[in-house]
């Protein structure tokens, strides 16, 4: 890690947030959180569904992974 402080995130407010991958894969760089995944209604959020703007491909990701500044940047850069 580069020594930068961890990004503080509230998982309940991630829906429709925008993210940029620091290392694009398959020309996919810009993503949006399109769903919050909770194991059962009312339980804490464990994952988010990310959607690539370029291809529309979706994948699940542990929301805590978005804190990793070497992998994700908040917003579209």
Q: What is the pLDDT of residue 3?
A: 54
Domain membership of residue 4 (yes or no) is: no
Q: Which residues pair with 60 in a beta bridge?
A: 49
What gap in Å lies between CA 57 and CA 63, rounded to an integer?
Answer: 18
- Please write the tens of the pLDDT for every residue from 30-56: 999 999 999 998 899 999 999 999 999
Report the candidate in 30, 65, 26, 25 with the shortest Cα–Cα distance to residue 45. 65
Q: What is the pTM (predicted TM-score) of this model?
A: 0.87
Number of domains the chain contains: 1
Domain membership of residue 26 (yes or no) is: yes
Q: What does the DSSP 8-state code read for residue 8?
A: P
Q: pLDDT tier at 12 (50, 70, 90 boundaries)? A: confident
Domain membership of residue 58 (yes or no) is: yes
Domain span at 22? 11-74
How far, rounded to the nearest angstrom, does the alpha carbon of residue 73 sit from its chain's CA centroid? Answer: 9
């Amino acid at each position: 890690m580069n020594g930068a402080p961890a990004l503080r995130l509230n998982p309940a407010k991630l829906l429709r947030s925008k993210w940029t991958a620091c290392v694009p894969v398959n020309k996919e760089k810009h993503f949006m959180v399109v769903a919050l995944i909770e194991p059962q209604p009312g339980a804490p959020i464990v994952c988010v569904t990310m959607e690539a703007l370029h291809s529309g491909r979706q994948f699940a990701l542990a929301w805590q992974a978005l804190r990793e500044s070497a992998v994700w940047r908040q917003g579209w850069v």
